[in-house]
Amino acid sequence: MKQIGIIDYGMGNLGSVSNACKFLGLDAEIISAPSQMDACRAIILPGVGAFGDCMAHLTEHGFVSPIQKWISAGKPFMGICLGLQALFQTSEETPDIAGLGIFKGSVKRFQIAPQLKVPQIGWNAVTQKKPDSPMFAGVDDGAYFYFVHSFYVAPEDKSIVAGETDYGLKYCSAVWKDNVFAVQFHPEKSQAAGLQMLKNFGARD
């Protein structure tokens, strides 16, 4: 069986994602070149940092078109944190830099009450909007996951919203459409619920 590829494009939480996959017994390898995607059955795009830097690194490493083709071919794909945001068209963080454009919509900065700190750092609940999503199998509605972010995605197509979280406002914290599942939180740092989600992804084919 082919492996799960974790894309290394120069920035990302590679170690924790890789370690979580290994803990679950999933055959996962960090890949740094698009040619290595041929040996993969599923792809994870992790990420921490700024939207513009992410897209610059993906472009520099030649991943933009291969990721777009992978997703359009219907192969399993998971985005984590910045890996979710990169799937959209634009971000308020760097308005002049285009995202992957898999989903229509933008990435917005939190404009919330001053007593709520930005970035949001810590545990928060995810309300399942698509409980039939295979990614939520065995995960309780309202389960807590670990977040670190100052921006959130605002999809134009509300039907792709798989999970919502409340932090001064209700925002989309997970999307799911066909072969693509992406989350704002870090499942690899979210203990039992997050590991279950990664296990579910590992079972996709």
- Active-site amino acid positions: 81, 186, 188
Report the distance separating Cα 198 and Cα 38, nearest Å: 21
| Side-chain-facing half-sphere of 198: CA atoms under 13 Å | 31
Nearest to 17 by CA among 123, 158, 146, 131: 146
Contact between residue 49 and residue 148 where contact means Cβ atoms under 8 Å apart: no
Report the distance separating Cα 149 and Cα 33, nearest Å: 27
Residue 16, SS3 per DSSP: helix
Q: Where are the alpha helices (DSSP H) in 75-190?
A: 82-85
Report the distance separating Cα 127 and Cα 40, nearest Å: 31
Task: Spell 139-175 as b/e; 16+ CB within 10 A means b.
Answer: beeebbbbbebebbbebeeeebbbbebebeeebbbbb
| Side-chain-facing half-sphere of 90: CA atoms under 13 Å | 5
